[in-house]
Amino acid sequence: MRKRNLLYIGNRLSKKGSTVTSIETLGGFLKQEGFEVYMASSVKNKVLRLLDMLFTTLIYHRKVSTVLIDTYSTQNFFYAVAVANLCRLLRVAYIPILRGGNLPHRIRKNKKMSNKLFKGARTNITPSMYLYEAFKAEGYTNLTYIPNTVEMSNYPYLLRKEVRPKLLWVRSFAEIYNPLLALQVLEILNEQGYITSLCMVGPEKDGTQEACRKFAQEKNLDVTFTGMLNKSEWIQLSKQFDIFMNTTNFDNTPVSVIEAMGLGLPVVSTNVGGVPYLIDEGITGLLVPPNDPQLFAQKIIALLSDSDLAARLSQNARKKAEGFDWQKVKHSWVTLLNH
C-alpha cells in the first residue's frame, strides 16, 4: 500500500480567499486514481505555513513513497528548497512540479540552491515545454514533461456567432499578472468608439486590485470586479463574454487560459514564458508582447471585425485544450508514481 501513498506540498489556500491551485486539482485527480494523498499546507501565515509543510513532511515521510512539491519562482520558491532539504535528510524521494513561469531566472539567480533542489530530485515535472527546454539548457537532465490538466467535461464549448467587445480576465490580482494592462486596452478601445465592458475575476494579492479600481473610476470604464469565484461560477459567467484576455508578464502554462480555450473563448495573450507553447499565433489564439496596450487592442479589434477568424481560433483552441484533459494526462502520472 505504501507505494500508492503520496505527500503533496503546496499552497492550499482556496478556503482562505485565494484561487484553487494544483495541489487541490491534481491532488484530487490522483485520489480518484487510487492514491492516498496527504497535503500541506492550508495555513495562511507564510512562516507558519512553511513550518506546517516541514512538520507534515516529518510526520508522513515513513508513510509515503514520494513527496510532490509545487515549486514557484517567487518567494514561495524557498518553501520548495526547505522541504526538499528535509526530504534529502530523511531519505525520501521528492518530485518538484515546476509551476513558476520565471523559474529560469530563479535558477540562475540562486544557482547553488537550485542545483541541490533540482538535481537531488527523483525527477522534475515540467508542465510546459518552455520550462523543459529552459532547464535542459541549464544542464538539468532529470526532467519529465507532464502538462497541466483539467477535466474537460466540466467546460462546455460555446461558439460565439457574434463577437462583441465584452472582455473577460481571470487571474489573481498580482503585479506579475499585470491586470492594469487589461484596463489600458479597454481605454484604447473606448477611444476608438467601441462600447466595451470588462469583467475581472480573481482575488486581491498585493494591492493591485485597488489600483485597477482607481484607474477604472478615473477613466470611466465599464469594469466589474467579482472577487474570487469558484470554477463553476466563472464558467457560468463566461457565457456572457466573447474574448478572454491574459495580460501576464511571467507565465508557465496557465490553467485559466486552457480553460478559456476549452470554453470556446477566443484568447488574446501576452507571449511570455510558456504561453507561445500553448497558443499558436493565428491558429489557437492571438499573441502580443507584454506591456503593449496598443497592439493588444489591435488584436481585439481584429477579432471584432472578423467573425471567421474568431470562430476558427475558437474551434482550434478547443481541440488543443482537449489534449490537456485528465483522461489523457493521467496515464503519465500513474505510470511515474507507480514506478
**Beta bridge pairs of residue 150:** 325
pLDDT at 202: 93
pLDDT at 170: 96
Range of the domain at 257: 152-322
* Shared-domain flag, residues 120 and 160: no
The Cα 46–Cα 8 span in angstroms is 17
pLDDT band at 125 (very low <50, low <70, confident <90, very high): very high
Set of cell numbers at residue 106: 530563479
Which DSSP helix (H) or strand (E) runs through 104? helix 103-109
Asked whether the beta carbons of 180 and 215 are under 8 A apart, the reply is yes
pLDDT band at 1 (very low <50, low <70, confident <90, very high): very low
* Shared-domain flag, residues 50 and 180: no
State the average pLDDT over residues 39-62.
95
Set of cell numbers at residue 35: 492514491
Report the mean per-residue pLDDT for the chain.
94
The Cα 18–Cα 172 span in angstroms is 8
Q: How crowded is residue 338: how many other Cβ atoms within 10 Å of its Cβ?
A: 12
State the average pLDDT over residues 61-84.
95
Tens of pLDDT, residue by residue over 160-204, are 989 999 999 999 999 999 999 999 999 999 999 999 999 999 999
SS3 155: coil
CATH number at residue 215: 3.40.50.2000
Q: What is the pTM of this model?
A: 0.91
Tens of pLDDT, residue by residue over 211-223, are 999 999 999 999 9
* Shared-domain flag, residues 6 and 109: yes
- Domain count within the chain: 2
Least confident of 8-22, 88-102, 129-143: 8-22
* Shared-domain flag, residues 164 and 294: yes
The arrangement of strands across the sheet holding 286-288 comes to 223-227, 197-201, 166-170, 243-246, 267-270, 286-288
% of the chain beyond a pLDDT of 90: 88
Tens of pLDDT, residue by residue over 251-261, are 888 999 999 99
Rg (CA), the chain: 20
CA nearest to 50, candidates 32, 76, 20: 76
Kindly tell me if the per-residue pLDDT of 337 is higher than 60: yes
pLDDT band at 21 (very low <50, low <70, confident <90, very high): confident
* Shared-domain flag, residues 302 and 158: yes
* Shared-domain flag, residues 140 and 220: no
Set of cell numbers at residue 126: 515540467
* Shared-domain flag, residues 134 and 192: no
* Shared-domain flag, residues 115 and 231: no
Main-chain phi, psi angles of 322, to 5 degrees:
-65, -20
Kindly tell me if the per-residue pLDDT of 3 is higher than 80: no
Which residues are CB-contacts of 274 (< 8 A; sequence separation ≥ 6)?
101, 127, 128, 129, 130, 131, 251, 252, 253
* Shared-domain flag, residues 122 and 185: no
* Shared-domain flag, residues 181 and 310: yes
Which residues are CB-contacts of 17 (< 8 A; sequence separation ≥ 6)?
203, 228
* Shared-domain flag, residues 160 and 256: yes
Phi-psi region of 138 (alpha: psi -120 to 50; beta: other; left: phi over 0): alpha
* Shared-domain flag, residues 159 and 108: no
